[in-house]
């Protein structure tokens, strides 16, 4: 398979790298300069009409977009995705939460802090991103208070989806609740764990 990712370290791209590493699957990476809108060119829009990385290209040329959909595809039939009906839906619950209530705050703040320029944001925007991200971390903390992982007390793709940007939150100035900090450590201890790549522009700190 071929993974289309960005030159700068994207948490959404990293989710797929982490799972592929933990599955031990060989793959090729193609990096696009999203700061120069390379993902908006016609050849890439043919792969993902939404013009965003990550995209997974299968051996037959079929392309799959949306990081959490790619995780579901790759994890199907492996220990990283539950088979039980309720646990499958709970995995979706946390992956949808990540996309609607976490990523739009923490990932967006990450992008503008390191690469976009916070000064370009409309007044009040940074505060709204901070409030939304901090609320998401509070939701995670409440769930993790009594659990080791998000679903079925077993590490899986819901954890991968939420780990990708939560690991950046401390460096962005969010307060990390203790249950979330302990869970971040548990994820880092998983077999086959790989960290997010270094920022070639040197703007994002390591592990962020
Ligand atoms: N919901 C998508 C979000 C993908 C996304 O926002 N990708 C960003 C990088 S993290 C991107 O490609 N930005 C370039 C652009 O929008 O032109 C996912 O989970 O894959």
| Predicted pLDDT of residue 203 | 94
- Which residue, 92, 70, 115, is CA-closest to 208? 115
What residues contact residue 100 under an 8 Å CB cut-off, 6+ apart?
none
Ligand 1 site, CB within 6 A: 6, 10, 12, 34, 37, 39-40, 51-54, 66-68, 99
Copy the structure tokens of residue 137. 């971390």
CA 37 to ligand 1: nearest atom: 17
| Predicted pLDDT of residue 206 | 79
- Over its length of 208 residues, how does the chain's per-residue pLDDT go in tens digits? 999 999 999 999 999 999 999 999 999 999 999 999 999 999 999 999 999 999 999 999 999 999 999 999 999 999 999 999 999 999 999 999 999 999 999 999 999 999 999 999 999 999 999 999 999 999 999 999 999 999 999 999 999 999 999 999 999 999 999 999 999 999 999 999 999 999 999 999 977 6
Residue with tokens 């992956």: 95
How far away, in angstroms, is 14 Cα from ligand 1 center?
A: 12
Residue nearest to atom 1 of ligand 1 (CA): 66
| Predicted pLDDT of residue 82 | 97
For 144-197, the DSSP string reads: HTT-SSSBTTB--HHHHHHHHHHHHHTTTT----HHHHHHHHHHHTSTT--PPP
Three-class DSSP labels, 51-115: CCCCEEECCCCCEEECHHHHHHHHHCCCCCCCCCHHHHHHHHHHHHHHHHHHHHHHHHHHHHHHH
| Predicted pLDDT of residue 208 | 66
Copy the structure tokens of residue 197. 């790549």
Alpha carbon distance 195, 208 (integer Å): 9
Q: Which of 34, 36, 42, 52 to mutate to test the pocket of ligand 1 (most atoms within 8 A of CB)?
A: 52
How far away, in angstroms, is 147 Cα from ligand 1 center?
A: 30
Residue nearest to atom 10 of ligand 1 (CA): 10
Q: Is 30 helix (H, G, I), strand (E, B) or coil?
A: strand
- Which residue, 200, 179, 196, 178, is CA-closest to 188? 196
Interior CA angle at 77 toward 74 and 79, to 5°?
A: 90
How far away, in angstroms, is 20 Cα from ligand 1 center?
A: 19
Residue with tokens 């505060």: 127
């Amino acid at each position: 398979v071929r993974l289309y990712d960005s030159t700068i370290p994207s948490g959404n791209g990293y989710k797929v790298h982490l799972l592929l590493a933990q599955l031990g699957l060989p793959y090729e990476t193609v990096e696009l300069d999203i700061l120069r809108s390379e993902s908006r060119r016609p050849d890439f829009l043919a792969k993902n009409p939404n013009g965003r990385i990550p995209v997974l290209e299968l051996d037959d040329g079929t392309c799959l977009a949306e990081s959490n959909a790619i995780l579901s595809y790759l994890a199907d039939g492996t220990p990283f995705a539950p088979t039980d009906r309720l646990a499958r839906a709970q995995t979706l619950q946390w992956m949808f939460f990540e996309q609607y209530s976490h990523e739009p705050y923490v990932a967006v703040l990450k992008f503008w802090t390191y690469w976009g320029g916070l000064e370009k944001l409309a007044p009040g925007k940074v505060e709204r991103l901070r409030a939304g991200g901090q609320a998401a971390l509070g939701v995670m903390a409440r769930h993790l208070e009594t659990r080791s992982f998000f679903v079925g007390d077993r590490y899986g793709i819901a954890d991968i989806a939420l780990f990708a940007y939560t690991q950046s939150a401390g460096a962005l100035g969010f307060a990390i609740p203790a249950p979330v900090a302990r869970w971040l450590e548990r994820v880092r201890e998983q077999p086959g764990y790989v960290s997010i790549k270094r920022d070639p522009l040197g703007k994002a700190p390591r592990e962020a």
